[in-house]
């Protein structure tokens, strides 16, 4: 088991789920809002985040997805279902040891091929999620919606991974 990664991926799944829950209460106009310096609208960023994570997961696990990750306009409910599927897939993947140095050939945007170890893919999945969740929180703040607290300590407290000590 890859114990050290369970909390990292647990936080990633929890934080995205919290954001999806908040976004279910937004209007269509709010979901279409963007802000300078962010990826795009809230819904476009959620779709991109989950789609990209699906790509990382698919490559690392070798498992085909039961849905088309390149579908450009899934509903918010579909994005949430895909996210929950991904969280379960990461859990299964992390339940067994894996070779973090196993390499994958990746073609970058400039056409150059790179050998990329599995550990870099794992780090990218986490980094990418954090980056885009922060962007969505920026957009939420710009329209007067209080963003949820998505930090690691918030996750630890919410999931009782950190427990308050009795005085």
**SS3 category, 26:** coil
pTM: 0.94
The Cα 39–Cα 80 span in angstroms is 19
45, part of any domain: yes
166, part of any domain: no
pLDDT for the residue 1:
52
**SS3 category, 104:** strand
Contacts of 142 (CB under 8 A, 6+ apart): 33, 35
The tens-digit pLDDT sequence of the chain (167 residues) is 567 899 999 999 999 999 999 999 999 999 999 999 999 999 999 999 999 999 999 999 999 998 888 877 999 999 999 999 999 999 999 999 999 999 999 998 899 999 999 999 999 999 999 999 999 999 999 999 999 999 999 999 999 999 888 88
38, part of any domain: yes
76, part of any domain: yes
118, part of any domain: yes
Residue 109: exposure state from Cβ atoms within 10 A (0-12, 13-18, ≥19): exposed
CA dihedral 124, 93, 60, 48 (to 10 degrees): -50
The range of the structural domain enclosing residue 144 comes to 3-158
| H, E, C per residue of 106-140 | EECCCCCEEEEEHHHHHHHHHHHHHHHHHHHHHHH
- Number of folded domains in the chain? 1
CA 102 to chain centre: 22
CA 18 to chain centre: 11
pLDDT for the residue 109:
87
70, part of any domain: yes
167, part of any domain: no
pLDDT for the residue 32:
98
> Residue 10: which H helix or E strand, with range?
helix 3-23
**At 80, which CATH number?**
1.20.120.450
Question: Residue 114 forms beta bridges with which residues?
Answer: 106
163, part of any domain: no
């Amino acid at each position: 088991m890859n114990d050290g990664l369970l909390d990292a991926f647990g936080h990633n799944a929890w934080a995205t789920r919290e954001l999806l829950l908040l976004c279910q209460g937004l209007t269509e106009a709010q979901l279409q809002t963007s802000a300078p310096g962010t990826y795009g609208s809230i819904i476009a960023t959620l779709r991109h985040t989950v789609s990209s994570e699906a790509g990382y997961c698919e490559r690392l696990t070798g498992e085909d997805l039961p849905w088309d990750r390149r579908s450009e306009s899934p509903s918010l409910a579909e994005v949430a279902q895909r996210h929950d599927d991904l969280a379960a897939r990461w859990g299964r993947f992390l339940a067994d040891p894996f070779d973090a140095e196993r390499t994958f050939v990746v073609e970058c945007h400039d056409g150059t091929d790179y050998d990329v170890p599995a550990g870099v893919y794992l780090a990218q999945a986490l980094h990418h999620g954090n980056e885009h969740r922060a962007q969505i929180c920026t957009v939420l703040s710009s329209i007067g919606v209080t963003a949820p607290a998505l930090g690691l300590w918030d996750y630890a407290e919410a999931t009782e991974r950190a427990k308050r000590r009795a005085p």
